[in-house]
Amino acid sequence: MPGTEIISTEPATGAVLWRQTSGDADKEVALARASWAAWAAHPLAYRIEALRRFANVVRQKADAFTDLLARETGKPLWEARTEVETVIAKVDISITAFSERTGQRRIDAPMNTRLALRHKPHGVLAVLGPYNFPVHLPNGHIVPALLAGNAVVFKPSEKTPASGAFLVDCFHAAGIPAGCVRLLVGGPDEGKALAGHPDIDGLLFTGSANTGIALNRQFATKPEKILALEMGGNNPIVVWDTPDLYSAAVLVVQSAFTTAGQRCTAARRLIVDEKLYEPLMVELNKLIGRLIIGEPHADPAPFMGPVIDNDSADMLTESFLALLTMGGRPIRHMERPIEGRPFLTPGVIDMTGVAEKVDVELFGPILQVFRVNSFEEAIVEANDTRYGLSASLISQNPKLYDQFWANIRAGIVNWNRPTNGASSAAPFGGVGWSGNHRPSAYYAADYCAYPVVSSESDSARASMGVGLRDA
């Protein structure tokens, strides 16, 4: 509710990092509504220049931004720095994408007329951001939305509000009108108020499948509003016909445990040829045992930090125990190395033959393993999910990759690469419970503006050749 204090703490230490009173969705939407028309009326070149100033502001503040982001999320400093660099790079990528995806075109037409294709902004767009990439992912909506001429009301996750506030401050410092980028601080109540507000023209969401499905139902009676959903995955990584099991183990670890497993593209399920299972598990176990897990600024740099908070760590620990009670065989137990803090060691569990499969996104460092005897069975196992975001094949056989690509159900299909680490210069999204067929990243321009087709002539010349009586 408006007036409630939102407090952000550092996952690694528990120290209070930031606090602010929650905002009012009505107020923020009204300010954006009053500002967007003037912003949209500016030439595209004006908005491009403003967003390039924004990139320069972030570049100038990169060290402070990186430090804040690392402290608030718990992710290692190197990873936070990469996220800030992605925010900067997003501007030029979005400018290119806007030109390619929504650029103006003139099309020849008969009878001295012409067809013009141009695009208009929707108006006021709401952006709901997640905590795992609290600046990169909402920025991937905000920059294309502003470029198209929209105003934005951005509600960051209540778990990472400081990073969201810093991002908005950078937009304002660049001279982008304060009314065109509004920050709504708050929890679920403010998120619901924003999503259901009658004066927004659309909602751009990144988060859990359950929330995305609820939003999809809510917007079902509002076809006039754009809705873009990115909702995560239960992603498979398949290891088959490969001699280099160390490299395979590295790719599995990078896929499953980067960002402490808190990526929507993280590998949740390892599907492996029965013949490779034992030697691969040896390599995987050795590699996991070498991982440094620590606070963001630790030296040497950690591979991964904590999960976002103790509630999430408790839920993940309980989930791992639930998999054990269902019949899973532990390959590597999940542990809490620091009492009272949300650090977790990676958990790996063999779920082969377990009658009841858990098709949920366990958003943390848990990897389920499934042994199969044929590649066709591996594909069936990989597709046995309601989600469809990311999938990867580790194999030296290009024919198997052709078969994998043709039959796997996912929006991102990789070969001898991790399931995560998607490029901002390509579309990003999935099918099923992973999204609603509105891929983001390079294709964000598609949902930030709508096409307007005009049939035009310099003068009104018309005649009717049929259907008239003689004069």
Annotated catalytic residues are: 230, 264
Task: List, in sequence order, every residue forming a beta bridge with 390; answer none if it has no partner.
Answer: 412
DSSP-based helix, strand, coil % in the chain, nearest 5: 40, 20, 35
Residue among 101, 131, 129, 132 at smallest CA distance from 117:
101
* DSSP 8-class letter at 97: H
CA dist., res. 126 & res. 448, Å (int): 11
Those residues with Cβ within 8 angstroms of residue 405's Cβ, 6 or more apart along the chain or in another chain: 413, 415
Coil, strand or helix at 311: helix
C-alpha distances out from residue 37 to 121, 148, 179, 373, Å: 10, 12, 11, 60
C-alpha distances out from residue 412 to 16, 131, 427, 428, Å: 38, 22, 9, 7
Coil, strand or helix at 109: coil
What sections of 182-273 are H helices per DSSP? 188-195, 209-219, 245-257
Q: HSE-up of 97 (CA within 13 Å, CB side)?
A: 28
Residue among 393, 396, 363 at smallest CA distance from 378:
393
Given a contact cutoff of 8 angstroms between Cβ atoms, the answer to whether 108 and 186 are in contact is no
CA dist., res. 287 & res. 283, Å (int): 6
